[in-house]
Amino acid sequence: PMSGQQVQDWVLQHELMPVLSAMHDSINKLVWELARTKQAHSHIRAQWESVRERRFRGGDNNGPDHYETNLQLVIAHVGQLAADQEQDLERRTERYRRFRSLCTSGDASPAAP
């Protein structure tokens, strides 16, 4: 029979470490996704600024056309997506840290989720 410590070590190694690894992988994927979203936001914003500048240089005072308006909407949507991803990343990272701390300290009373 295994001792209490051996059981705890086995559970940590075979049950909890794979969960921690999956959580860590998920965080890394979200970091990449957030970076890609921010890059897309920057590129779309640059495109919108270029379109807007051409309109002003051309003396068009009639306001934005359909394309420019759509770019503005996409910029807002992608910006909100990036903000949501940042919040999700913060939540997941904190959850991972708490769970990792619980697993490595053996303390069965983590902070409330």
Domain boundaries, the chain: 4-104
Cβ count near 51 (within 10 Å): 15
> Three-state SS for 62?
coil
Query: pLDDT by residue (tens digit) across 8-36?
Result: 676 677 778 889 999 999 999 999 999 99
- Nearest CA to 106 out of 1, 2, 9, 3 is that of 9
- Nearest CA to 78 out of 110, 113, 48 is that of 48
Q: pTM for the full model?
A: 0.77
Integer Cα distance of 113 and 58 in angstroms = 56
Query: pLDDT by residue (tens digit) across 68-104?
Result: 999 999 999 999 999 999 999 999 999 999 988 888 7
